[in-house]
């Protein structure tokens, strides 16, 4: 039986991948998590390389998907040691353990490996990250390829999907500000209208990853660097307008046309997805359709500060 280990199954992307893998009834799927581990997930601290080695040796999987990471740019900027531990050292340890068992490893990376000045970016474009998050993920890519000959990187842009709290995605994190900007006495919410993003639905990413695993299972592994992205360009201001429409509220939104974040962020890192598209891999759900699914599963009801139930 084909055996897949999913590392980081409790996060925004990990949950979507776990759901996608649950449809593969002929596969054995082992999930790990750390801070939010719940049965049947196995608790695994990926900062502990000895624990990783023991776990991989015990499981002897055919494939490993690494969905665990520190993906918050501000946290990476302020705690580079944590970023390195999760985004570089853990990838190296997992890939090294996988190499001993001949397991294929898929590691998730980011569009922030690019500086955002010359989009769209092919998979073989020269990276030039401008913040600590992008640098750590680029080092993680190299760590993967240094540790195994049977590895694949999947670069992704801004993600959104079924959430456990509004803050879990930079897309849905706009909802509280949108809520606070409604009503006659409310103040307008200022939204970034400088950087262009390509929101990508996590169930679509999960679909892509399952397709990649299916290729590996039949002896046609995808190795090297790959990329997947939504194809609808939007600033946070654009996203907020569409969120407000989906929520059915009359929000007061003001665009800001200069960079507003303390952490440097690239302006436009549109990822070219042609490598996977040429293999017949991919799915894109329109943003307006997908965001309504997300909001239906996590109802707003005017609760601007709602967290996970």
Taking the CA atoms of 269, 138, 84 and 44 in sequence, report the sign of the dihedral they define.
Answer: positive
Nearest residue to 97 via CA among 45, 34, 51: 51
Residue 133 lies in a domain: yes
Q: What is the mean pLDDT of residues 80-89?
A: 96
Residue 265 lies in a domain: no
Residue 50: which CATH number? Answer: 3.40.50.720
Q: How high is the pLDDT of residue 307? A: 44
State the Cα–Cα distance between residues 214 and 263, nearest whole angstrom.
38
**Structural contact between residues 112 and 157, judged by C-beta atoms closer than 8 angstroms:** no
**Structural contact between residues 108 and 66, judged by C-beta atoms closer than 8 angstroms:** yes
Residue 100 lies in a domain: yes
Query: Phi-psi bin for 219: left (phi > 0), alpha (psi -120 to 50), beta?
Result: left
Residue 83 lies in a domain: yes
Q: Which two tokens stand for residue 297?
A: 């599963």
Q: Alpha carbon of 56 to those of 8, 59, 62, 161, 268: distances in Å?
A: 14, 5, 10, 29, 38
Q: How high is the pLDDT of residue 236? A: 97
Does the pLDDT value for residue 305 go beyond 70?
Answer: no
Q: Is 151 helix (H, G, I), strand (E, B) or coil?
A: strand
Q: Is 306 helix (H, G, I), strand (E, B) or coil?
A: coil
Mind listing the pLDDT tens digit for each residue in 107-148? Answer: 999 999 999 999 999 999 999 999 999 999 999 999 999 999
Q: What is the mean pLDDT of residues 8-32?
A: 96
Does the pLDDT value for residue 304 go beyond 70?
Answer: no
Give the domain extent around 31.
Answer: 3-160+200-227
State the Cα–Cα distance between residues 277 and 151, nearest whole angstrom.
19
Residue 308 lies in a domain: no
Reported as a pLDDT band with limits 50, 70 and 90, residue 250 is very high
Residue 214 lies in a domain: yes
State the Cα–Cα distance between residues 298 and 242, nearest whole angstrom.
17
Q: How high is the pLDDT of residue 108? A: 98
Does the pLDDT value for residue 161 go beyond 60?
Answer: yes
Taking the CA atoms of 129, 132, 137 and 140 in sequence, report the sign of the dihedral they define.
Answer: positive
């Amino acid at each position: 039986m084909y055996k897949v280990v999913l590392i980081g199954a409790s996060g925004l992307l990990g949950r979507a991948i776990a759901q996608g893998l649950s449809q593969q009834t002929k596969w054995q799927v082992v999930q790990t998590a750390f801070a939010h581990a719940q049965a049947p997930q196995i608790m695994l601290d990926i900062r502990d390389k000895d624990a990783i080695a023991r776990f991989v040796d015990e499981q002897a999987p055919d494939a490993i998907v690494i969905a665990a990471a520190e993906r918050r740019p501000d946290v990476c900027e302020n705690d580079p040691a944590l970023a390195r531990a999760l985004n570089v050292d853990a990838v190296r340890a997992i890939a090294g353990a996988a190499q001993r068992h001949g397991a294929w490893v898929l590691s998730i990376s980011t569009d922030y490996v690019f500086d955002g000045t010359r989009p769209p970016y092919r998979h073989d474009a020269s990276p030039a990250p401008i913040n600590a998050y992008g640098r750590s993920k680029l080092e993680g890519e190299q760590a993967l390829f240094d540790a195994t000959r049977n590895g694949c990187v999947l670069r992704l842009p801004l993600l959104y999907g079924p959430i456990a709290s509004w803050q879990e995605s930079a897309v849905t994190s706009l909802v509280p500000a949108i809520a606070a900007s409604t009503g006659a006495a409310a103040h307008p919410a200022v939204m970034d209208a400088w950087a262009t993003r390509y929101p990508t639905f996590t169930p679509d990413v999960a679909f892509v990853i399952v397709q990649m695993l299916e290729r590996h299972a039949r002896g046609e592994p995808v190795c090297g660097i790959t990329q997947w992205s939504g194809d609808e360009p939007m600033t946070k201001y654009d996203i907020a307008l569409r969120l407000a429409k989906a929520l059915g509220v009359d929000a007061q939104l003001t665009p800001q046309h200069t960079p507003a974040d303390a952490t440097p962020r690239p302006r436009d890192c549109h990822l070219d997805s042609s490598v996977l598209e040429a293999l017949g891999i991919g799915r894109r759900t329109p943003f307006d359709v997908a965001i309504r699914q997300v909001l239906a599963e996590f109802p707003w009801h005017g609760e601007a500060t709602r967290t996970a139930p």
